[in-house]
Each structure stands twice: as structure tokens, then as C-alpha cells.
Amino acid sequence: MKRTMVLAAAWVGLTVFLMFLAGRCLLGRTCPAVQTVVPAEETLILDAGHGGEDGGAVSVTGARESDINLAVVLRLRDLLAFYGTDPVLLREKDVSLHSPGAVSPREKKTSDLKNRTQAVNHIPNATLLSIHQNAYPQGKYWGSQAFYAKTEGSQELAQALQRALRENLQPDNRRECKPVPDTVYLMNHVNCRAVLLECGFLTNPEEEALLRDGAYQKKLAAVLLSVVQEEKSARFS
């Protein structure tokens, strides 16, 4: 009950906060009258992890990680549209991004990751946000956690995301952001700043129910949006 009330309050607060962010420049309070050097607009890339035959982790109720990843990405895309941000989505459907020549599951997985990496690296001035769900044999573990790439600015973005999630959605979450493991191919081969976000644990019954819930997905997307918009306002206003 307490967590439900906190989440409801966070959603209302985030809505007001995001309206405030959008209105600051419209009111001319933070935008300079003359700007001699305009930084290149950044491109946000959203990666819904896994897809197609690769469903990723499976939840305690049989839900596939890939489906939840995509649901969160699509909700974030829709929210970003209201603020004039048009992100690049690596996938918009339940598909693998492997090349036609890949046959075995291993070949398809390798090809998929290489194609995602190539797509990201072909976009200049990009920021990658890769959405995933966590899993662990013991069901007691829960909580979002951000992992950052070695590229410049990645750690700062991960810290901002972790902080926003704690302050607005998971006040009892004491996890800290960490460097991404060397085994994560995509995050170790992109040339832009990049963060992989584990939204929660599919093996924790309470959190799994939230992650499958559309209303919670919207709240999660709103928190991510607030960080993106705050950064955009600070860097390009």
C-alpha cells in the first residue's frame, strides 16, 4: 500500500516537473537571447534488448523479457514525442536483428549484437539507452540498476538515471550504478555514451507484477524522460 501511494505521488510529481521543464524555455527564462555557438543536436537511441527467438530472461509467470523491454521503449518513445524528441529505435517489433545468413541460435545472437552495434556507431553524436530486465535464481532480489559503458559521459548519465529512479519510483532501492561487465558485447563496442538499464527483477514476484503492468511501465518511462529532458535543457538551452 505504501509503495502504491509513493508511485502514485511520483507520477503526479513527474507530470508537473516535466511540464515545468518544457515551459522554462517557452517562457524564455533560461534560453539566452543570442547564442553564437549552437551544439549539435544529440540523437537518442533506444534499444529494447533481445527480441524474436531470443526472448531473454523469463519471468515467474512466463513473461518474456524481450516483450517487457519493448513495451517500456515504446512508452518512452511516445512520451518523448510530446517534447519534440524523435528517438531512433533499434527495434519496434518482436524481431531479432540478425542478418539473413545466420542460421543457428548462436549465429543469430552474434549477428544481432553486431548489427545493433553497427547501427549505433553509424549515428553521429548519439546516446544509447539499452533497456533490459534482470533475473536471479533467488526471488528476494529487486530494484532497477544502471550500468555504464567506458565512453565519455556514460557514468554521469547512469548516475542521473539511478538517482532519478530512487527519488521518484523506488525510494528503498539502495543499488548503485556500475560499469557494464566486459561480457556485454553491445555496450563494450559502441563509440557513444551508453547506459544499460536493468529495470527490475523478473524473478521477484512483486516486482515482476509491476514490470508487466502498463501503468508502472508509464511511470518508469516518465522517470527516464525526466532525465533525458533535464539533460537536453542543460546542454542545449
Q: Is the pLDDT of residue 15 over 90?
A: no
Alpha helical stretches, state H, 122-204: 154-168, 185-189
Cα 205 from Cα 211, distance rounded (Å): 10
Side chain identity at residue 161, one-letter code? L
Give residues with Cβ within 8 angstroms of 230, minimum separation 6.
Answer: 21, 160
Domains of the chain: total: 1
pTM over 0.85: no
Confidence of residue 20 (pLDDT cuts 50, 70, 90): very low
Cα 66 from Cα 63, distance rounded (Å): 9
Residue 61: domain span: 2-33+42-236
Cα 71 from Cα 75, distance rounded (Å): 6
Q: Is the pLDDT of residue 25 over 80?
A: no
Q: Is the pLDDT of residue 68 over 70?
A: yes
Q: Which three cell numbers stand for residue 136?
A: 536471479
CB contact at 8 A, 43 and 123? yes
Longest dimension (CA), the chain: 58
Specify the CATH number for the domain of residue 194. 3.40.630.40
Strands in 178-179's sheet, in edge-to-edge order, are: 88-89, 43-48, 126-134, 193-201, 145-148, 178-179
Rounded alpha-carbon distances, angstroms, from residue 144 to 4, 70, 72, 108, 207: 17, 16, 13, 28, 10
pLDDT tens string 40-59? 688 999 999 999 999 999 99
Rounded-to-10 torsion of CA 129, 12, 176, 157: 40
pLDDT tens string 107-122? 999 999 999 999 999 9
